Structure 1
Amino acid sequence: MRVAIVTESFLPTLNGVTTSVCRILDCLRAAGHQALVVCPGPAPASYAGFEVHTVMGVTVRQFRVGLPSYDLERVLRDFRPDVVHAASPFGLGARGLAAARNLRIPAVAIYQTDMPSYLRQHGGPAAGFVERAAWRWIRHMHTLADLTLVPSSQTLQELSAHGVPRTALWRRGVDTVLFDPARRYDPAVQDLRELLAPHDETIVGYVGRLAPEKEVHRLAEVADLPGVSLCVVGDGPSRAALERQLPRASFLGYRSGLPLAQAYAALDVFAHTGTKETFGQTLQEAMAAGLPVVAPAAGGPLDIVRPGVTGLLFDPDHPGTLRQAVGGLVADPAMRTRMGEAARSRVADRSWSSLVDELVAYYASVIAPSWATPAPAA
């Protein structure tokens, strides 16, 4: 199969969209498929042996944004894909969907970023108008796709309520080899634990981008819990403000690959704070590492966390509930162990390979839809 991936974000920018696209490309290569990447520049000339075509981009709030290019029809015509994959489309991805429609190429869109909520949060006095305009644009844009895949049941309901047609559920994979409970016993992880908790405190950690929409300020509820060492992994525009707000926390900065896996392995409890997540990939990574997780009872985490089994959910509208949930786990090591083991079991079969197999099946469903009438035999 030949797949053209038009993505709003790609290397060297590191975020959830980039990570997902890279894992998809890795699995497509392993399965013998062909792919082309179209993304904002600058970017590497190739990835996993696949060509990367860049378009002009601008930087907005530390994000590299691709400008819609009318050259996309030529790029797609030259590559001759069987399907166009639009990763978290909004600007460049919308242009890719339009180009696919113009060329009569089947297209699948991946809804990953809750852009209306992000724009509402940063929209100032016009926030309501901006959010409504964003939903109108998303509804129009996704009508260009033959199928829109969403990562959680909550998001599926939200898109349906806003009139987005032809949707289906497609979750995300997780690297259960990299994120492994056994890593906790690595000497490097033991050294990190000694650094973070020199008096054998319970280490409660957050991993992710440090930005207003991630609501990391909620960690102030647990920062002064007795016997707790708070650890924050990640970087972003809110880091300086959070360091002032959480003076006793350890900020480890951005980590990826093995250093990220080691950071997860050093934790005892994982705390997720954002209420506008369409999924919650860091929750899956923490669960793969064998950690009990605490998350808001909103959005994507509702599909991931099984309350009382793999972790706990807190009510984000009631201050103190995050503190109560984390405090309960801090006070009960046996419950932490039981939930951590259950969390690992819950994500054990969610490899990227199996999830990309599902994705390829979705590709096939739009390339040769079940309602299509086969051509008569000659």
Structure 2
Amino acid sequence: MRVAIVTASFPPDVNGIAHQTWETARQLALSGHEPLVVAPARPPARCAGEAPEAFDGCRAPVIRLPTLPSPLPGHPARRPPLPGGRLARALAAHRPHVVHLAASGRLGARGLAAAARLGVPAVALHLAGAPDRNALRPAAAEAAAWRRARALHRAAARTLAPSTEAVRALADHGVPGALLWPPGVDTERFHPDRRDLELRHALAPGGELLVGYAGRLVPAKRLDLLAPVCALPGVRLVLAGDGPSAAALRTALPGARFLGCRRGGDLARILASLDVFVHPGRRESFCHTVQEALASGVPVIAPAVGGPADLVRHARTGLLVRPDDARALAEAVVTLQTRRRQRADYGLAARASALTRTWAAAVDELLGHYGEVVVRGPRVRAGG
């Protein structure tokens, strides 16, 4: 099957959309299909652990769209693609059976319109995100985002959402009928065997409980809630990631170790070396790093909302706590600190839960969605 993937982000970008798109394209190619990726051009990302050229391993051709020189407000790494016909020409040359939309806004609408002109169906992924905190009217900005999302998803042949809560949010905002499709995880890269005792000793030289977070350092992740965790005796907090909140968090989390942006094998080694993974953000529509920690055999503490509520089995693979509750996060850490056997059991169950959601299994399910919409025929309307 020929699949054209139109995405808002692709490596060397460091975010969930980029990671998910790369893994999807790679698995499609490994399965004998013909993916094409169309993504905005990006400046090289500065992230330790893996060189940008390593992402050539997706085995799919990648066409980069020229972008505007100015970034989106509040998103310095994101620049919207310039208007033009390059996307449409790329899709027409590829002759796809289906267009996979991992983009919203104008780029998603352009991908949808190109699919309509080609007479092929479009499968749109729901890409929920935190509202722009820099907007003068955040409520109005969020309402506008939902208007654009409704237009995109109502016109697409099928909408896929990564979590139960995301499916419900779509229905609440006028997009019923979305289907659940959780992304996969690389269970070979993220593996308990990556645990590194030398790294553990370097990060927790006194034998402290090693509690860690990996991801962007941005306000939406609510990492400020980890201050009580940072203050716990016998606990060492580490954060792997970078972002605009880094400076403020260094002040808010005294004693925490900041490892900078990590990816690939370097990130896998850090995750597997943790005793507990913690993610305090409540606005996660999925959360790849939670699933990667589970695959690494590490119990997870996260709020009982959004993607983590689907991924973490409470009192089996980790602990789910009240959202936005710093005290509850600290109490959960203490629980796992004092119950070593329970922590080990959670880690074993975490690894087992991830083995059912490999990227091969996830993309096989995605191919089922592609096949159904191709048989049914296009539903998109020209012009998006």
Let me know the Cα RMSD of the aligned residues.
Answer: 2.0
Instruction: Provide the secondary structure at the position in 2 that maps to 1:134.
Output: helix
Structure 1 residue aligned with 2:49: none
Structure 1 residue aligned with 2:33: 33
Unpaired stretches in structure 1, ≥5 consecutive residues = 373-378
Q: Deviations over 1:23-47 (max 9, x none)?
A: 1111111111112111111488976
Q: 1:273 aligns with which of 280, 290, 300?
A: 280
**Aligned 1:1-378 pairs, distance under 5 A:** 1-42=1-42, 48-58=58-68, 59-60=71-72, 61-67=75-81, 69-71=83-85, 72-114=87-129, 117-119=130-132, 121-124=133-136, 126-184=137-195, 189-369=196-376
Aligned-pair distance for 1:165? 4.0
Q: Deviations over 1:287-314 (max 9, x none)?
A: 1111111001111111111111111111
Unpaired stretches in structure 2, ≥5 consecutive residues = 44-52, 380-384
CA distance in 2, matches of 1:22, 1:109: 16
Structure 1 residue aligned with 2:382: none
Instruction: Provide the secondary structure at the position in 1 that maps to 2:258.
Output: strand
CA distance in 1, matches of 2:97, 2:152: 20
Instruction: Provide the secondary structure at the position in 2 that maps to 1:285.
Output: helix
Count of residue correspondences:
364
CA distance in 2, matches of 1:267, 1:7: 32
Q: Deviations over 1:240-299 (max 9, x none)?
A: 111111120011111111111110122101101110000111111111111111001111
CA distance 1:62–1:350, shift in 2 (3 Å): same
Aligned-pair distance for 1:49? 4.0
Instruction: Provide the secondary structure at the position in 2 that maps to 1:142.
Output: helix
Instruction: Provide the secondary structure at the position in 2 that maps to 1:35.
Output: strand
Q: Is the 8 A contact 2:226 2:326 kept in 1?
A: no
Instruction: Provide the secondary structure at the position in 2 that maps to 1:205.
Output: strand
Q: Is the 8 A contact 1:264 1:286 kept in 2?
A: yes
Among all aligned residue pairs of Structure 1 and Structure 2, give the percentage whose two residues are the same amino acid.
44
CA distance in 1, matches of 2:209, 2:197: 14
Instruction: Provide the secondary structure at the position in 2 that maps to 1:26.
Output: helix
Instruction: Provide the secondary structure at the position in 2 that maps to 1:122.
Output: coil
Q: Is the 8 A contact 1:4 1:76 kept in 2?
A: yes
CA distance in 2, matches of 1:277, 1:269: 19
CA distance 1:319–1:18, shift in 2 (3 Å): closer
Aligned-pair distance for 1:79? 1.7
Aligned-pair distance for 1:12? 2.0
CA distance in 1, matches of 2:364, 2:82: 30
CA distance in 1, matches of 2:259, 2:146: 36
Structure 2 residue aligned with 1:376: none
Structure 1 residue aligned with 2:50: none
Task: Tell which deviates more after alignment, 68-77 or 171-180.
Answer: 68-77
CA distance in 1, matches of 2:166, 2:7: 20
The one-letter code sitting in structure 1 at the alignment partner of 2:80 is G
Q: Is the 8 A contact 1:69 1:95 kept in 2?
A: no
CA distance 1:317–1:246, shift in 2 (3 Å): closer
Instruction: Provide the secondary structure at the position in 1 that maps to 2:237.
Output: strand
CA distance in 2, matches of 1:156, 1:128: 21
Q: Deviations over 1:110-141 (max 9, x none)?
A: 11332xx322x3324x1111111111111112
Instruction: Provide the secondary structure at the position in 2 that maps to 1:320.
Output: helix
The one-letter code sitting in structure 2 at the alignment partner of 1:82 is H
Instruction: Provide the secondary structure at the position in 2 that maps to 1:50.
Output: coil
CA distance in 1, matches of 2:93, 2:183: 30
CA distance in 1, matches of 2:280, 2:139: 23
Instruction: Provide the secondary structure at the position in 2 that maps to 1:27.
Output: helix
Q: Deviations over 1:214-241 (max 9, x none)?
A: 1111111201111001111111111111
